Amino acid sequence: MATYIVGDIQGCCDELQQLLNVANFMPEKDELWITGDLVARGPKSLETLRFVKNLGSSAKVILGNHDLHLLAIWQGIHQAKENDKLTPLLSAHDCDELLEWLRHQPLLLRHPEFDFVMVHAGISPQWTIKQAEQFALEVESQLHNNQFKSLLQKMYGNHPNSWSEKLVGDERQRFIINAFTRMRYCFLDGSLEFKNKLGPAETDPSIMKPWFEIDSLDTSSPILFGHWAALLGNVDKEGLYALDTGCVWGNSLTMLRWQDKKTFSLACPVHSQ
């Protein structure tokens, strides 16, 4: 059995299937781990959700910021934007079934054998990995129960941007969601910065650093993540694997086979304007 980990798909279903064929992925014996952001901006979000859901237990999925935003749109909290190309999904006969499945996915997964941890954006340097697992479960318990709409309504916003065990309620849940699904940079004290989407070479390291370069980061387990297309998969830190290489922006879709660390990559056409 092989374990494959693929970066942000964002509705690029054709490219995903092509890449799986290149890697000779066999769902009856292999596993596909997906770093979140299955949907939005690519042309086939509906087909992506159907395909991944139909993989059953062969697919291991976590939620990204676009996935959570889709759930908020589904619940009438926000309106869909035209460039997210979500109309076919939202009007599909199986929309409710697909999005009920989606909202029951986690924010963090740890591989039971290889001990790597997969998240969408990252793990706050103010947490240990063990804490991150606990905090993910806190939010997941809210997202998976019947009051999930309240969580989706209150998750938007950039504050608080620094962790404290004293955080409670909406502020605590918002920080946890932001760290797992939106984080790229941190200020040097480990607090989150949300505006900068540039690559590290274009950013002043005396002001902020990529979250994975903050000294307090717990690297006791390998961490696999997506979300940050500007990295193009380049992370010069042992045990860190960046897998979003900007397929929807016309770069490539990237997948890692864990057992031998072989990388599979497929050049992609531009889907998002």
SS (H, E, C) the chain: CCEEEECCCCCCHHHHHHHHHHCCCCCCCCEEEECCCCCCCCCCHHHHHHHHHHCHHHEEECCCHHHHHHHHHHCCCCCCCHHHCCHHHHCCCCHHHHHHHHHCCCCCEECCCCCCEECCCCCCCCCCHHHHHHHHHHHHHHHCCCCHHHHHHHCCCCCCCCCCCCCCHHHHHHHHHHHHHCCCEEECCCCEECCCCCCHHHCCCCCEEEHHHCCCCCCCCCEEECCCHHHCCCCCCCCEEECCCCCCECCEEEEEECCCCEEEEEECCECCC
**Does residue 155 surpass a pLDDT of 80?**
yes
Percent of the residues in the chain that have a pLDDT greater than 90, as a whole number: 97
pLDDT band of residue 77 (cuts 50, 70, 90) is very high
| Buried-exposed string 43-59: b where 16+ CB fall within 10 A, e elsewhere | bbbbbbbbbbbebeebb
Q: Which CA distances in Å does 168 have to 160, 165, 175?
A: 11, 8, 10
83 within some domain: yes
The span from the CA of 86 to the CA of 81, in Å, is 8
272 within some domain: no
- What residues contact 212, with CB distance under 8 A and at least 6 apart? 122, 223, 235, 237, 240
The CA R_g of the chain, rounded to the nearest whole Å, is 17
Average pLDDT over residues 195-205: 93
235 within some domain: yes
**Does residue 273 surpass a pLDDT of 70?**
no
Tokens 């490219």, located at residue: 15
pLDDT in tens, 2-23: 999 999 999 999 999 999 999 9
Average pLDDT over residues 201-226: 96
pLDDT given for residue 271 in this prediction: 87
The length of the chain is: 273
CATH code of the domain in which 129 resides = 3.60.21.10
Average pLDDT over residues 106-124: 98
161 within some domain: yes
The span from the CA of 10 to the CA of 39, in Å, is 4
273 within some domain: no
The span from the CA of 225 to the CA of 5, in Å, is 9
Average pLDDT over residues 63-92: 97
Q: Which CA distances in Å does 251 have to 8, 180, 229, 271?
A: 12, 24, 9, 10
pLDDT given for residue 248 in this prediction: 95
List, in sequence order, every residue forming a beta bridge with 185; answer none if it has no partner. 193, 210
How many domains are contained in the chain? 1
**Does residue 24 surpass a pLDDT of 80?**
yes
252 within some domain: yes
**Does residue 63 surpass a pLDDT of 70?**
yes
150 within some domain: yes
11 within some domain: yes
**Domain range enclosing 243:** 3-267
pLDDT given for residue 272 in this prediction: 73
**Does residue 99 surpass a pLDDT of 90?**
yes
